[in-house]
């Protein structure tokens, strides 16, 4: 289907590397469970991933409770229960069938990592015949980053606009994406499969390839809609370059599949709550953040593109036009006038690494000439350069793992909650209705829907309507800066049923509430608002 020949021995190498990457991606969680302090529970997430991860846990919970369509639990404003996400639906159904949440969550992440590793190898095998080059490209793509590790080394934390993308954006690198929930790795794997199918179609024009690419595009649009824009940009340019006017038909077929979820999302945006969520700004940082964030990968990729054009790679094999198209449209996508620009960097490291290997080939050939054609010296230099490339370009990715491992050993939020906090949230689960609105501070509110299933007043930067305003209202409420009348107005105007007062809510000082305590332990008091 993908038009590549891969031996059984190669698959063994790939499988071994997949095990390495699964271990790598789950290492912070392994350490998290092993380092669990007495009286606390590891919450299966960390910083900065916890906000989005808890959203995914909340959708899994809704599916486990029998829902096919989901609600946003991080805002109290009424909205349609109409969000559909097939990945979290399947995960929730597994939980409903009795599979422990931990096995479903980590098992899905491991499956996503394995799938991506295999698809990366298939993708690079389309361009390289030598097994050595294929394996090198695979390993490098999984670890490559830029100069972001210097931020950790020198403890320099610039504003987001200037922060290297290999530090800030999980979409920017494969290794960092694998450490995040499974939807990231699955999405990149789907994109690669779609592109490979389009390349195969360009050669033999079989409808089966086109329909399969369209179906995978539909799935991609449902689980990670942003990536549909990447597919549209890259596929359009590639097919127009290779097929000219004949590109219209395959674009219509693939577009027809994407149109179904696209129409659904447009309909969904008619609801004010979903429309507000869609306006959340995810604009690209400065171009410098991308240049520094890709570092040597970008430099060598530029050399590789020039080399591919110079030596006739493109003339001999039109397959090369797809990664070139991806590289060409990348800067256009990153600053296209849409609110989610920075999301469109996802997967770009794959094509950059492809041309990085070509660039390194050019360096090898120059050195071989300089060494007078000495096979032994050239081989030593080649292996040395490959090893050095992996080490230097992989520093940021390794730093991410070490940083997360160190953080989970801290025993603090958001990695761990006290038994008392979990007990209080479980009380809400057993004694309140799912539609009851709970008031807490931002951090606590991010976990409540996941554990109890309740709706919260505040808990997510993108999914809470007017999140910043609500944050300051909650801070004023719990710090005692509100009068009783102002508290009553906040509670009644927002239909709040329960007030969760835990360690983070008590940080503001003494709290006086006109409400009855319905649950209390050493860490948390829960108040029932009287109507």
pLDDT tens digit sequence for 37-72: 999 999 998 777 888 999 999 999 999 999 999 999
Per cent of the chain over pLDDT 90 is 78
Cα–chain center distance at 45: 13
H helices, E strands: number in the chain: 23, 7
Tell me how far apart the alpha carbons of residues 143 and 425 are, in angstroms, rounded to a whole number. Answer: 38
Q: Which domains does the chain have, with CATH numbers?
A: 8-42+100-405 (no CATH), 416-528 (3.40.1380)
User: Residue-wise over 212-248: b if at least 16 C-beta within 10 A, else e?
Assistant: bbbebbbbbbbbbbbbbbbbbbbbbbbbebbbeeebe
Q: Is the pLDDT of residue 125 over 80?
A: yes
Q: Which residue has the tokens 């007043």?
A: 457
- Token pair of 107 as six digits: 């098992």
Q: Is the pLDDT of residue 409 over 60?
A: yes
Q: Is the pLDDT of residue 126 over 70?
A: yes
Tell me how far apart the alpha carbons of residues 294 and 359 are, in angstroms, rounded to a whole number. Answer: 15
Distances (CA, A) of 451 to 246, 330, 427: 53, 39, 10
Distances (CA, A) of 59 to 200, 342, 440: 36, 24, 20
| Average pLDDT score over residue span 294-298 | 97
User: Residue 27 half-sphere exposure, CB side, CA atoms within 13 Å?
Assistant: 20
Which residues are paired to 517 by β-bridges?
527
Tell me how far apart the alpha carbons of residues 352 and 411 are, in angstroms, rounded to a whole number. Answer: 38
Per cent of the chain over pLDDT 70 is 97
Q: Is the pLDDT of residue 442 over 80?
A: yes
**Predicted local confidence at residue 511, as pLDDT:** 65
Q: Which residue has the tokens 């709550």?
A: 273
Tell me how far apart the alpha carbons of residues 421 and 447 are, in angstroms, rounded to a whole number. Answer: 10
Please write the tens of the pLDDT for every residue from 327-348: 999 999 999 999 999 999 999 9
pLDDT band at 379 (very low <50, low <70, confident <90, very high): confident
Please write the tens of the pLDDT for every residue from 347-375: 999 999 999 999 999 998 888 778 776 67
Q: Residue 438, by phi and psi: left (phi above 0), alpha (psi -120 to 50) or beta?
A: beta
Q: Is the pLDDT of residue 378 over 90?
A: no
| Average pLDDT score over residue span 18-39 | 96
**What mean pLDDT is reported for the chain?**
93
Q: Is the pLDDT of residue 315 over 80?
A: no
Please write the tens of the pLDDT for every residue from 157-212: 777 778 999 999 999 999 999 999 999 999 999 999 999 999 999 888 888 999 99
Q: Is 482 helix (H, G, I), strand (E, B) or coil?
A: coil
- Report which of 473, 478, 509, 516 is spatially closest to residue 493, judged by C-alpha positions: 473
């Amino acid at each position: 289907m993908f038009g590549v020949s891969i031996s059984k021995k190669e698959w063994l190498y790939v499988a071994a590397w997949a095990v390495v990457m699964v271990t790598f991606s789950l290492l912070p969680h392994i350490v998290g469970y092993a380092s669990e302090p007495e009286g606390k529970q590891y919450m299966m997430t960390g910083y900065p991933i916890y906000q989005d991860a808890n959203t995914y846990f909340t959708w899994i919970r809704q599916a486990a409770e029998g829902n096919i369509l989901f609600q946003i639990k991080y805002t109290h404003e009424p909205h349609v229960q109409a969000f559909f996400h097939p990945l979290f639906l399947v995960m929730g159904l597994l939980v409903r069938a009795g599979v422990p949440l931990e096995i479903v969550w980590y098992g899905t992440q491991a499956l996503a990592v394995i799938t991506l590793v295999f698809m990366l190898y298939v993708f690079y095998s389309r361009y390289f015949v030598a097994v050595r080059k294929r394996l090198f490209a695979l390993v490098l793509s999984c670890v490559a980053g830029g100069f972001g590790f210097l931020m950790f080394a020198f403890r320099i934390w610039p504003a987001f606009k200037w922060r290297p993308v290999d530090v800030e954006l999980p979409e920017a690198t494969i290794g960092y994406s694998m450490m995040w929930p499974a939807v990231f790795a699955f999405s990149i794997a789907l994109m690669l499969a779609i592109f490979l199918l389009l390349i195969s179609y360009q050669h033999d024009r079989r409808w089966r390839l086109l329909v399969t690419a369209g179906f995978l595009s539909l799935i991609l649009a449902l689980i990670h809609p942003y990536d549909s824009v990447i597919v549209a940009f890259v596929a359009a340019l590639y097919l127009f370059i290779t097929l000219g006017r004949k590109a219209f038909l395959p674009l219509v077929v693939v577009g027809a599949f994407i149109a179904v979820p696209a129409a659904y999302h447009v309909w969904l945006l008619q609801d004010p709550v979903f429309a507000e969520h869609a306006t959340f700004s995810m604009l690209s940082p400065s171009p410098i953040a991308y240049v520094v964030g890709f570092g040597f990968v970008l430099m060598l990729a530029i050399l590789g593109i020039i080399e591919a054009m110079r030596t006739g790679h493109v003339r001999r094999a039109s397959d090369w036009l797809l990664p070139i198209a991806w590289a060409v449209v990348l800067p256009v996508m990153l600053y296209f006038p849409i609110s989610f620009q920075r999301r469109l960097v996802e997967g770009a490291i794959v094509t950059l690494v492809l041309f990085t290997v070509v660039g390194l080939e050019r360096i090898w050939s120059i050195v071989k000439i300089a060494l007078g054609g000495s096979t032994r010296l050239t081989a030593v230099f080649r292996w040395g350069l490959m090893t050095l490339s992996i080490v230097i370009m992989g520093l940021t990715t390794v730093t991410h793992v070490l940083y997360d491992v160190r953080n989970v050993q801290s025993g603090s939020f958001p990695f761990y909650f006290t038994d008392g906090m979990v007990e209080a949230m479980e009380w809400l689960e057993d004694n309140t209705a799912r539609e009851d609105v709970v008031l807490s501070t931002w951090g606590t509110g991010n976990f409540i829907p996941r554990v109890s299933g309740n709706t919260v007043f505040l808990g997510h930067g993108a999914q809470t309507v007017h999140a910043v305003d609500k944050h300051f209202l909650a801070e004023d409420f719990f710090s005692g800066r509100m009068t009783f009348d102002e508290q009553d107005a906040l509670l009644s105007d927002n239909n709040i049923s329960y007030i969760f007062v835990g360690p983070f809510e008590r940080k503001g000082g003494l709290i006086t509430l006109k409400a009855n305590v319905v649950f209390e332990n050493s860490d948390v008091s829960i108040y029932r608002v009287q109507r």
